[in-house]
Structure 1
Amino acid sequence: MYQIYTADQYLWEGLNLDGKTVLEGGTSWGNTTRRIAEKVKEHQWKTKLISVDIDDSHFDEIKEKLSESFDALDLRKGDLSKLDFIEDNSIDAIICNYTLSSVNQFPLRAVTVLKEFHRALKPGGQLVIMEEIPLWAVEHRDYPYWSQRLRVIKSISILKAMAHFNEIHPNDLEETLKTLNYQEVQYQEFKEAIDSSLATKFLDKRKQTLLKGYNDIDNDHLTKGFVEMTEKLVKELEQEKSFSAPAYIMKASK
């Protein structure tokens, strides 16, 4: 979902995609898709990329942007917890950028996805996961914009009885991967930069969710308060190119 800046070196360390079939878990706006395409072009790798997302609304835009530089791209609409079109032991590497927290909107769904990833990977295949650290595990004053944004988004989601992103602590993810028989599990934490323009898009989307449709909150003061909080934060973020977020990259193999 997000651009990877400070952690880029660690992300690609030991990851050679030449002659490989790669699965991207969660296409979203195509940021990671484009980064993989750039890396393939830079190293002149022969790489096939299958990128999967439950929402295909950005597929046409991604195809248009990558059509000339990277043609070995297969964009698939699908559920990561049920990859019926991916054969067992057929994928060399899986890259999953800020997607597990989205999948984990539905409790334990992330475990099913990780099990599917394990099934799809070839023996020795690599899994690379990028995620943000949960709000409760971080000193909020170190990440003021990140913290405010997430709290507003999650609060609106709860008020509207919507599922919301659930970030997974790296210690918990590490133990889950080991339980699912992944090998060589390791991770590093980073202070990552998040593109403010992308962040404000999702923030404004949650505001529209609050305003549209039936007012099931039945409290105009509460609705108005969250709208004001959201608009104030959007204006502040629009003045920033990026803001810091606590993140980690976890690597494992089958």
Structure 2
Amino acid sequence: MYKIVTAERFFWEGIDLNNKVVLEGGTSWGNTTRIIVNKILENNWNTKLISVDIDDSHFNEIEDELRQSYNQLQLMKGDLSNLDFIEDESIDVVICNYTMSSVNQFPLRVLKALKELYRVLKKDGQLLITEEMPLWSIDNTEFCYWSKRSRIIKSISVLKAMPHFNEIYPNDLEESLKIVGFRNIECQQFKEKIDAELATKFLDKKKQTLIKGSNDLDNDNVTKGFVQLTEELVKKFEGTEEFSAPAYIIKAKK
């Protein structure tokens, strides 16, 4: 969902999308879609891009913006753990930018998704994954905002009986890739620069879910408390362009 800034060189190193079919796992608001399209246009690559997301609410907006500059984009609604609409060994490169923690909302589903990505990739096809590092310590001072934001978002989801993002430690994700059959696995950890506007936009979206959704706990004090926490955190970072968050990139081959 967020831009790849700090580790962009490592991410794109050795990646040539010319005459390739690329699958983006997790379209969301189209931020990574735009990054990929810009990279294709910059290099004058002939590339077909398929972008898949379980939520198609932003598809029209993305298509309207990109259709004049790039006409090989196909947006498809679907679950990454069940890509039955994509043929075996038909994809050259898979890019998942902050997607696996979303898939991992449901226990073990990330393994099903990795298995599907392995299936659709061609022999020697490449898999690129960017993910958030799990943050559990409330005493974390280096990533204070990111830690608070993550805990508030997850707490709201729990209050509303909704699944929430589950970040994966890189060594656990590496082991999962090996189980599925991937090889030549590389990993790099880094501090990512997160766009503050996008991050607070998502936080505010969660607040609206809290206010408008049903509440079977039936406790207005709890709801008001989390609304207050959310608004205070958003206000604190008004005018901030970006902040740091821990992340990592994994590259693998089929």
TM-score tier by shorter-chain length is over 0.9
Q: How does 1:2-13 map to 2 (within 5 A)?
A: 2-13=2-13
Q: Which residue of 2 aligns with 1:181?
A: 181
Q: Secondary structure at the match of 2:95?
A: strand
Amino acid in structure 1 at the alignment position of 2:179: T
Q: Secondary structure at the match of 1:249?
A: strand
Contact 2:159 2:215 in 1 (8 A): no
State the 1:73 CA deviation.
0.5
State the 1:138 CA deviation.
9.2
Q: Which residue of 1 aligns with 2:24?
A: 24
Tell me the alpha carbon deviations over residues 47-72 of structure 1, each in whole angstroms, 9 at most, x when there is no partner: 00000001111111111111121111
Q: Which residue of 2 aligns with 1:132?
A: 132
- Taking the aligned partners of 1:31 and 1:137, their CA distance within structure 2 comes to 29
The RMSD of aligned alpha carbons is: 1.3
Q: Which residue of 1 aligns with 2:243?
A: 243
Q: Which residue of 1 aligns with 2:111?
A: 111
Q: Which residue of 2 aligns with 1:38?
A: 38
- Alignment of 1:162 onto 2:162: yes
**TM-score normalized by the length of structure 1:** 0.97
- Alignment of 1:150 onto 2:150: yes
Q: 1:126 to 1:213 in 2, by over 3 A?
A: closer
Q: Secondary structure at the match of 2:130?
A: strand
- Taking the aligned partners of 1:177 and 1:214, their CA distance within structure 2 comes to 38
User: How many residues in Structure 1 have an aligned counterpart in Structure 2?
Assistant: 254
Q: Secondary structure at the match of 1:162?
A: coil
- Taking the aligned partners of 2:137 and 2:118, their CA distance within structure 1 comes to 28
Contact 2:160 2:214 in 1 (8 A): no
Q: 1:30 to 1:214 in 2, by over 3 A?
A: closer
Q: Which residue of 1 aligns with 2:94?
A: 94
Q: Secondary structure at the match of 2:237?
A: helix
- Alignment of 1:53 onto 2:56: no
- Taking the aligned partners of 1:54 and 1:80, their CA distance within structure 2 comes to 8
- Alignment of 1:190 onto 2:207: no
Q: Secondary structure at the match of 2:5?
A: coil
- Taking the aligned partners of 2:57 and 2:159, their CA distance within structure 1 comes to 26
Q: Which residue of 2 aligns with 1:203?
A: 203
Q: 1:214 to 1:138 in 2, by over 3 A?
A: closer
- Taking the aligned partners of 1:138 and 1:178, their CA distance within structure 2 comes to 32
Amino acid in structure 2 at the alignment position of 1:41: L
Q: Secondary structure at the match of 1:246?
A: strand
Q: Which residue of 1 aligns with 2:230?
A: 230
- Judge which range, 183-192 or 215-224, deviates more: 215-224
Q: Secondary structure at the match of 1:135?
A: coil
- Taking the aligned partners of 2:214 and 2:63, their CA distance within structure 1 comes to 37
State the 1:224 CA deviation.
1.5
- Alignment of 1:218 onto 2:236: no
Q: Which residue of 1 aligns with 2:252?
A: 252
State the 1:243 CA deviation.
1.2
**TM-score normalized by the length of structure 2:** 0.97
State the 1:139 CA deviation.
6.4
Amino acid in structure 2 at the alignment position of 1:36: I
Tell me the alpha carbon deviations over residues 74-123 of structure 1, each in whole angstroms, 9 at most, x when there is no partner: 11011111111111011000000011111111111111000000000000
List gaps (5 residues or longer) in structure 2: none
Q: Which residue of 2 aligns with 1:68?
A: 68
List gaps (5 residues or longer) in structure 1: none
Contact 2:191 2:246 in 1 (8 A): yes
Contact 2:192 2:244 in 1 (8 A): yes
In percent, how many aligned pairs have the same letter? 64
State the 1:137 CA deviation.
7.3
Q: Secondary structure at the match of 2:208?
A: helix
State the 1:7 CA deviation.
1.1
Amino acid in structure 1 at the alignment position of 2:33: T
- Taking the aligned partners of 2:178 and 2:214, their CA distance within structure 1 comes to 45
